[in-house]
Amino acid sequence: MIKHIFILNPVAGKGALQVGLAESIAQACAQRGADYEIFKTGARGEATEYVRALCKQYPDASLRFYACGGDGTLSEVVNGAYGYANASVGVVPVGTGNDFVRNFAAKEQFLDIGAQLDGETQKFDLLRYNGQLCVNMINIGFDCEVVKLTAKLKKKKLLSADFGYIAGLVLTLILKPGVKAQVSVDGGAPERRNMLLTSVANGSWCGGGFYSSPLALLSDGVLDVLMIKNVSRVRFLSLVGAYKSGSFVSNPKARRVIDYVKCHRVSYAFNGMQSVCVDGEVTEAKDLEIEAVTDALCLIVPKGASYAPAAEPMPVGMC
């Protein structure tokens, strides 16, 4: 028995992309005679609990969970399904950023419910941090603070989503919060770092279209760690274009202040509680232990879509 479960986050993307979604699900499932249900989340973490409960309830069924929301919704569903051999996870990207699906060619197929139902599964890596799982990327420092401020500004009724992000970016640049931490790579000696931002990536994209980890692969078994020194505002502004496009990898001026490392494990010890953005959702941590978990995600790739890595596999170490 194959059971299709659609997990809808009603607040993802302010619901704009979800108009008619339930009807599309019903129509596509009816055409295929598919057994399906729709579950709407009401609180953060509810998707994880619901998915895990169904995996326990139906141990002999093939369960296909579709996270209908952004990267945060996908992350919750993955954390619930992880460890259950009968569960696979898909994503219908109706959130705000939807950075994970940017790693795929013909990503518009992820919005086609019929293509989702007809899709096949493929194994990809995950990140494990402090006992939990991350699908796409962990951001600390400048990027994370932009997310925090933007979320606050979006609550202002007079600000659109796009303007809220721009306002959050400008205000964060004015405040220019950095992040100080002892960083250890693959169990090496901790090194004191004063950074503008740092990220640990599985996928290549973050922030709604920043190609910040251009050498990252979803199936290479390693982490891509980015560390930018806490440079001046003027210096950062001169580099932000290269950071957004991913061209900093081959930019000598940018590489003077940006370290890019491939490794299996990385740890951070912060000076105190630190804001950490995991798949677009902000949490707090004093320490972080992050490792790559190979072939941990059984992903439903919609028919017509395909994984399209831009980079070639590279050895562990400084890139």
Reported as half-sphere exposure (CB side, CA atoms, 13 A), residue 140 has a value of 31
What is the predicted pLDDT for the residue at 155? 64
The answer, yes or no, to whether residue 169 has pLDDT greater than 80, is: no
The answer, yes or no, to whether residue 172 has pLDDT greater than 60, is: yes
Question: What would the two tokens of residue 287 be?
Answer: 């320490």
Band (203; pLDDT cuts 50, 70, 90): very high
The CA distance from 30 to 6, in Å, is 14
What is the predicted pLDDT for the residue at 231? 92
The CA distance from 72 to 291, in Å, is 19
What is the predicted pLDDT for the residue at 171? 72
The answer, yes or no, to whether residue 312 has pLDDT greater than 80, is: no
The CA distance from 308 to 67, in Å, is 21
Band (161; pLDDT cuts 50, 70, 90): low
What is the predicted pLDDT for the residue at 156? 60
The CA distance from 85 to 60, in Å, is 10
What is the predicted pLDDT for the residue at 88? 98
Cβ-Cβ contacts under 8 Å for 198 (sequence gap 6 or more): 139, 140, 141, 179, 181, 183, 225, 226, 227, 228, 268
Q: Residue type for 3, please? A: K
Q: Taking residues 208-225, what's their average pLDDT?
A: 95
Pair type for strands 2-8 and 35-40: parallel
Helix axes 142-154, 161-175, angle to 10 degrees: 130
Q: Taking residues 254-275, what's their average pLDDT?
A: 96
**Contact call for residues 99 and 74 (beta carbons, < 8 A):** no
What is the predicted pLDDT for the residue at 115? 98
The CA distance from 257 to 181, in Å, is 17
pLDDT tens, residue by residue, 3-35: 999 999 988 766 666 778 999 999 999 999 999
The CA distance from 270 to 188, in Å, is 17
Give the residue with greater pLDDT, 209 vs 221.
221
pLDDT tens, residue by residue, 39-71: 999 999 999 999 999 999 999 999 999 999 999
Phi and psi dihedrals of 257, rounded to 5? -120, 0
pLDDT tens, residue by residue, 112-160: 999 999 999 999 999 999 999 999 999 999 889 888 877 776 666 545 5
The CA distance from 22 to 9, in Å, is 12
* Average pLDDT across the chain, whole number: 91
CATH dotted code for 2-98: 3.40.50.10330
Three-state DSSP string of 205-270:
CECCCECCCCCCCCCCCCEEEEEEECCCHHHHHHHHHHHHHCHHHHCHHHHCCEEEEEECEEEEEE
What is the predicted pLDDT for the residue at 157? 55
pLDDT tens, residue by residue, 66-89: 999 999 999 999 999 999 999 999
Band (168; pLDDT cuts 50, 70, 90): low
For 137-294+309-318, which CATH class?
mainly beta
Domain map (residue ranges) of the chain: 2-98, 137-294+309-318
Band (311; pLDDT cuts 50, 70, 90): confident
